[in-house]
Amino acid sequence: MSSTNLKEHKLSNAGIVSGNVDVCGIEACKVLDLPENGTIPFYQKYVILSNDVAYLTHVIHKYPSKFIPHIPRWAIRRYLRGQQFRSVLDPMCGSGTTLVEGILFGHHVFGIDIDPLARLITKVKITPLDEEKLRSACRKVMYRIAHASQGEFVPSIPTLSHWFNEGITKELSIIRDAIEEHRDNKDIYDFLIVTFSSIIRRVSNADNQSQKTYVSHTNPKSPPAAIPIFAQNLEKYAERIIEFSKKRPPGTTYHILEGADARSVDKAFRERHFGNIDLAVTSPPYIKAVDYIYTQMAEYFWIGDLFGLADQKSQNMFKTKYIGTKMVYADEYSQPKLTGIPSIDPIIERIYSKNRKFAYITFKFFEDMRANLKSTYSILQNEAHYVIVVGDCNVAGESIRVRDVLIDIAELEGYTLENLFYYEIRNRYMRFPRLGRGGLITHDWVVDLRKR
């Protein structure tokens, strides 16, 4: 579709935000997988019927706003067309959905994420392990747990009893001590730590599904015992890792770029002497919607020492680094700041009249995404695609069509819009605020860009 036609589409649908009604009157397609051949009509809606979004290592560890594997799988099939050993990047990789799919299709994968727990989960999901060594380590851990009366490791936070009851604290301490005996094998140790992390929210006093980690006094929780839950996940995750290791095509490689930033992808690649990328697929954060550190605060209490994030003070300081963060300082929004993009600046001005902080958060999100689009562009092969999955949102009562603003920015940075369609979200782990009343983002948009 030409730029002119695209703008006509935007104007004709200016009042429509993703919802239950088909945009442009196109009937929703119910599919098990997105079509890799043929043309997808602009603004096509899909209802993806498959519930199998947690096969192989995708099941390992819940993560907020995780996107479905169907999108990277579709992009890899469509644009790499059965080739192997191409380069696939996710510059905001979260818990590794794109990287798992990339490896399963026989490609070299590259992941960047500011969140250290996200990077660790991703690394565990895509690292093959020797079956005999893994099973032996699991048996040893469970034996050590069964024969321990107490553990030594306890988080050094004054509010520990608020988050965990005494019995759970004892069990978690025993588990962490047993895991520490496997530091001599880094890959197996990381697997054990991620398995440990995966049970912490569930066995804490905090609500399991809330976006925020908080203890409800109106609906108090009775957490299950930690050791049986850990044993279940240990067995399940080990089997998935073993199966993944067998299915992983030989010769594929992975690179999780420690210390890299999605806003300067090109710098990270130059420093490591990597070549250009054949395909990029990502799902960036929502504007002011997910506080990843807050959502995973309970987990960080127990494994945050590995990242220097074991207490709330260090966690709060770290929040400032995220794209879309709400942790900004007052002097940053004392004056209005605009992007120069006509599709968003009037909205930022209206938000500023209601809430200066939210206006700056909105401005900063699109500036950060501009930096990402620009830096990713510079390492893409010519004609390569960058597929971005985003949700529209409301800030201070103002509806923001995020996908259209990103398209405008992308076109300024040299991309061509190849396609734009959307799908219904059915996995609603961690709810997102809408209109300030805790509603749900019901659809995600797939923005398919091509480097000119």
* DSSP run (H or E) holding 387: strand 380-390
Confidence of residue 350 (pLDDT cuts 50, 70, 90): very high
Mean pLDDT of 167-171: 98
d(CA 181, CA 152): 13
Question: What's the CA angle centered on 345, arms 342 and 349, to 5 degrees?
Answer: 145
Average pLDDT score over residue span 416-443: 65
Mean pLDDT of the chain: 90
Per the model's pLDDT, the better-predicted residue between 286 and 414 turns out to be: 414
Q: What is the mean pLDDT of residues 325-354?
A: 95
Residue 330 has pLDDT above 70, yes or no: yes
CATH 3.40.50.150 location in the chain: 3-116+250-291+326-451
Q: Once rounded to an integer, what is the mean pLDDT over residues 257-272?
A: 97
Q: Which amino acid is at 310?
A: A
Of 95 and 210, the one with more pLDDT: 95
CA distances from 396 to 355, 356, 362 (A): 7, 10, 10
34-72 residue pLDDT tens: 998 878 999 999 998 877 788 999 999 999 888 899 999
Average pLDDT over residues 139-158: 97
Of 2 and 191, the one with more pLDDT:
191
Residue 452 has pLDDT above 70, yes or no: yes
Cα(93)–Cα(282) distance, rounded to whole angstroms?
6
Q: What is the pLDDT of residue 24?
A: 54
The confidence band for 434, taking pLDDT boundaries of 50, 70 and 90, is very low
pLDDT band at residue 27 under the 50/70/90 scheme: confident
Top CATH class of 3-116+250-291+326-451 equals alpha beta
